[in-house]
């Protein structure tokens, strides 16, 4: 695939299937192209001599085009693509629908389309795309009803209809775009390709998107990480597929759904995620027009007490904080503001404030080093001229180079001032929480720019030994492994207590005598997933009880399932649960992002507590450490209530080592270490459970 530069800036576009027939897509595309495109438009259609005043050619090979827009019926799309390939037309936009989205014949047609695109090395958008647009050259190669206005955001969408709705709205609101792409079925080009392209486009300052899925999660993360160092990406992601409902046999599999994968993956990618279309554009416009703040402290200047309190609440819900002013600032405020006002944040300059008082207060606040951003929050009064206030706000934002949001509350009386603000890239919202939300995305983006991404560690491991253990599933009817596969951990350097699996009571006793102190005994069977649920785990067994306990465990297992495949009983050294915490380290394979690591509070109540966090593997040390810091019960691990802190480094290393194991073996579908007991002296994996896809080994 070549660069996408020509896709957005072609010289000659062939419209394959162009027609003047009223109401047809072929006509809509030709019309849109004729409206403002700087380059040439060549209709391709053997049925016509000319289309809409343009002379028509029979075949794309005669068009000498560098881009083809294909609107012919589904059955003749493939030959059209082939002809484009033969004619060296590298950029192809397939608007025709009736491919993968319809299943059956359509799905196989899409497979063929992919092969053709690969054969001719095409930049192919779609199929089932609304088209692509660029305001740089007036190109509207789509069948949508509107053309975008020029701007510095580029926009991709998996839904073409959403593009038409957004453009309709954006034109009303004076929101402009550089490029717009309707991704369609993403058979060839997907979000990662567009992010990659726009990341290098000097005229795109913000990338925004509406996605229903991400085609290749890991590639997306790696590409977006780089792009977001310079160009913010804001996405709305909908259509939460229910991967979580897949039959899962591990705890991690039960808890980790595709939503967790997206949340983790998009965060690791440095993408700002908007919860709504409004949030998407609030964030995008702020990022497109204003500088990032130096710190997260905000000053609120207001002539109204109530909304001031609302803004304090909104700040509390965001990543921002109310700035504490320097003494100088407070002194100046005291001199200049009426005594009944409030010189602390939110600065209440009182209901009779005129523009001058507003301006002075904002000027003083923005000059304070503690202040990273500001919000002007005003209610209409007889003494306040909103248009003048807007002009002053614009000037002070320029003067101080700090981001400013406006919240001029009111209805029609606000319109003219809002236009002045908006021309200068300052959004005006009725609701303080929207203004705060928009400023918060600037701050969040600053955090992303400040990130450094490190390579995951590469531990010295015994991959061959691990493979040999995983291959054992090939001889089994099910694809699960349990504690009988614990040497896997050994191969990847994850610590565990001494243990052995035996199949006779006297052997159990012999093993127990080799181990210091009491032991734990567990039933070992691929048919028994949750051993303690059936009384299959005995903790704190003294040596002289070992033989009896062996019999008891076997009896319980037989009672539970008479034909269960019993591999024996594991006799295991005790982990110190008095000074230790049971944690879980796990992995579930997500269809889009691949291996998704989970860390959380472990034990037998994992699903009940659901105190867990996720990262797409392979994880770096920093990411693994963040995981240990962000669960709700992290204070427990750090040593709450006089307890000694757990061996956090040990947990971090275990997460990384498991991450390496599951990255090395795509055949591992799910993996739980539960519990990983973390004491002040170290960590120990006392139980594992995994599923393996033998086809993939």
> Which residue ranges make up the site for ligand ADP (CB under 6 A)?
497, 520, 522, 530-532, 537, 539, 572, 574-575, 577, 582, 603-604, 674-675, 686-687
Distance of closest approach, residue 490 Cβ to ligand ADP, in angstroms? 16
Q: How far apart are CA 188 and CA 175, in angstroms?
A: 29
Cβ-based nearer residue to ligand ADP, 389 or 523 = 523
Cβ-based nearer residue to Mg ion, 612 or 674 = 674
Distance of closest approach, residue 463 Cβ to ligand ADP, in angstroms? 26
Cβ-based nearer residue to Mg ion, 14 or 557 = 557
Cβ-based nearer residue to Mg ion, 268 or 674 = 674
Q: Which does 298 bind (CB under 5 to 8 A by kind): ligand ADP, Mg ion, none?
A: none
The alpha-helical segments, DSSP class H, found in 615-684 are 621-630, 634-638, 648-664
Cβ-based nearer residue to ligand ADP, 179 or 687 = 687
Distance of closest approach, residue 659 Cβ to ligand ADP, in angstroms? 21
Q: Which does 530 bind (CB under 5 to 8 A by kind): Mg ion, ligand ADP, none?
A: ligand ADP
For residue 586, the cross-strand partners are 598, 672
Distance of closest approach, residue 145 Cβ to Mg ion, in angstroms? 58
Cβ-based nearer residue to ligand ADP, 201 or 582 = 582
Cβ-based nearer residue to ligand ADP, 57 or 574 = 574
Sequential DSSP letters for 242-291: -GGGS---SHHHHH--HHHHHHHHHHHHT-EEESSHHHHHHHHHHHHHSP
Q: Are 208 and 226 in contact (CB under 8 A)?
A: no
Q: Which does 250 bind (CB under 5 to 8 A by kind): ligand ADP, Mg ion, none?
A: none
Three-class SS of residue 408? Answer: strand
Three-class SS of residue 103? Answer: coil
Which residue, 213, 200, 195, is CA-closest to 270? 195
Distance of closest approach, residue 515 Cβ to ligand ADP, in angstroms? 10
What CA–CA distances, in Å, run from 598 to 249, 404, 595?
15, 39, 10
Distance of closest approach, residue 502 Cβ to ligand ADP, in angstroms? 15
Q: Which does 603 bind (CB under 5 to 8 A by kind): ligand ADP, Mg ion, none?
A: ligand ADP
Cβ-based nearer residue to ligand ADP, 282 or 672 = 672
Q: Are 439 and 373 in contact (CB under 8 A)?
A: yes
**Closest CB to Mg ion belongs to which residue?**
687
Give the dihedral sign, CA 232/237/241/244.
positive
Q: How far apart are CA 616 and CA 256, in angstroms?
A: 11
Which residues of the shown chain bind Mg ion in the complex (CB under 5 A)? 674, 687
Distance of closest approach, residue 570 Cβ to ligand ADP, in angstroms? 8
Q: Are 94 and 81 in contact (CB under 8 A)?
A: yes
What CA–CA distances, in Å, run from 435 to 278, 300, 373, 398, 406?
12, 11, 11, 18, 7
Greatest alpha-carbon span in the chain: 99
Q: Which does 574 bind (CB under 5 to 8 A by kind): ligand ADP, Mg ion, none?
A: ligand ADP
Distance of closest approach, residue 518 Cβ to ligand ADP, in angstroms? 9
């Amino acid at each position: 695939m070549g660069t996408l530069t020509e896709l957005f800036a072609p010289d000659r576009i062939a419209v394959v299937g162009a027609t003047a027939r009223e109401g047809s897509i072929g006509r809509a595309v030709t019309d849109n192209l004729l409206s403002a495109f700087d380059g040439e438009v060549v209709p391709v259609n053997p049925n016509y001599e000319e289309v809409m005043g343009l002379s028509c050619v029979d075949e794309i090979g005669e068009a000498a085009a560098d881009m083809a827009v294909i609107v012919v019926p589904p059955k003749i799309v493939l030959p059209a693509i082939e002809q484009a390939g033969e004619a060296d037309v590298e950029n192809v936009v397939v608007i025709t629908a009736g491919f993968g989205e319809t299943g059956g014949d359509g799905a196989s047609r899409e497979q063929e389309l992919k092969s053709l695109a690969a054969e001719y090395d095409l930049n192919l958008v779609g199929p089932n795309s609304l088209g692509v647009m660029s305001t740089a050259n007036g190109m509207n190669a789509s069948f949508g009803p509107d053309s975008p206005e020029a701007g510095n955001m580029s926009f991709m969408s998996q839904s073409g209809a959403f593009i038409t709705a957004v453009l309709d709205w954006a034109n009303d609101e004076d929101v402009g775009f550089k490029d717009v792409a309707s991704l369609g079925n993403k058979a060839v080009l997907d979000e990662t390709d567009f992010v990659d392209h726009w990341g290098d486009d000097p005229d795109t300052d913000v990338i925004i998107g509406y996605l229903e899925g991400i085609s290749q999660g890991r590639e997306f993360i790696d590409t977006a990480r780089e792009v977001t160092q310079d160009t913010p990406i804001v996405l709305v992601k909908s259509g939460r597929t229910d991967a979580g409902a897949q039959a899962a046999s591990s705890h991690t599999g039960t808890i980790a759904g595709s939503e967790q994968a997206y949340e983790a993956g998009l965060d690791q990618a440095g993408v700002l995620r908007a919860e709504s279309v409004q949030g998407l554009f609030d964030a995008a416009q702020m990022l497109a027009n204003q500088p990032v703040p130096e710190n997260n402290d905000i000053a609120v200047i207001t002539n109204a007490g109530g909304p001031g309190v609302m803004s304090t609440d909104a700040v509390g819900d965001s990543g921002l904080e109310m700035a504490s002013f320097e003494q100088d600032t407070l002194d100046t405020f005291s001199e200049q503001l009426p005594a009944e006002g409030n010189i602390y944040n939110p600065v209440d300059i009182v209901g009779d404030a005129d523009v001058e008082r507003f301006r002075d207060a904002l000027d003083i606040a923005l000059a304070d080093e503690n202040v990273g951003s500001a919000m002007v929050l005003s209610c209409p009064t007889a003494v306040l001229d909103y248009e003048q206030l807007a002009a002053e706000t614009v000037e002070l934002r320029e003067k101080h180079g700090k981001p400013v949001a406006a919240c001029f509350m009111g209805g029609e009386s606000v319109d003219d001032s809002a236009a002045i603000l908006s021309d200068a890239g300052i959004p005006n919202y009725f609701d303080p929480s929207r203004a705060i939300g928009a400023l918060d995305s600037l701050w969040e983006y600053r955090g992303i720019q400040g990130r450094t991404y490190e390579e995951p560690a590469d531990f010295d491991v015994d991959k061959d030994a691990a493979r040999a253990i995983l291959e054992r599933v090939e001889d089994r009817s099910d694809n699960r492994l349990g504690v009988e596969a614990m040497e896997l951990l050994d191969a990847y350097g994850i610590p565990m207590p001494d243990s052995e699996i035996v199949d006779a009571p006297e052997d159990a006793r012999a093993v127990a005598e080799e181990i210091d102190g009491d032991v734990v005994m567990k039933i070992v069977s691929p048919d028994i997933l949750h051993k303690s649920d059936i009384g299959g785990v005995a903790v704190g067994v003294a040596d002289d009880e070992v033989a009896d306990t062996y019999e008891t465990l076997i009896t319980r297992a037989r009672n539970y399932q008479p034909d269960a495949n019993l591999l024996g009983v594991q006799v295991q050294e005790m982990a110190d649960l008095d000074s230790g915490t049971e944690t879980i380290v796990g992995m579930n394979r997500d269809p889009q992002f691949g291996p998704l690591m989970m860390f959380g509070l472990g034990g037998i109540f994992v699903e009940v507590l659901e105190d867990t966090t996720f990262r797409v593997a392979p994880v770096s040390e920093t990411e693994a450490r963040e995981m240990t810091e962000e669960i709700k019960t992290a204070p427990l691990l750090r040593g709450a209530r006089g307890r000694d802190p757990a061996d956090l480094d040990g947990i971090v290393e275990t997460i990384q080592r498991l991450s390496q194991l599951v990255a090395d073996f795509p055949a591992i579908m799910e993996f739980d270490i539960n519990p990983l007991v973390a004491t002040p002296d170290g960590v120990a994996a006392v139980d594992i459970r995994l599923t393996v896809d033998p086809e993939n080994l």
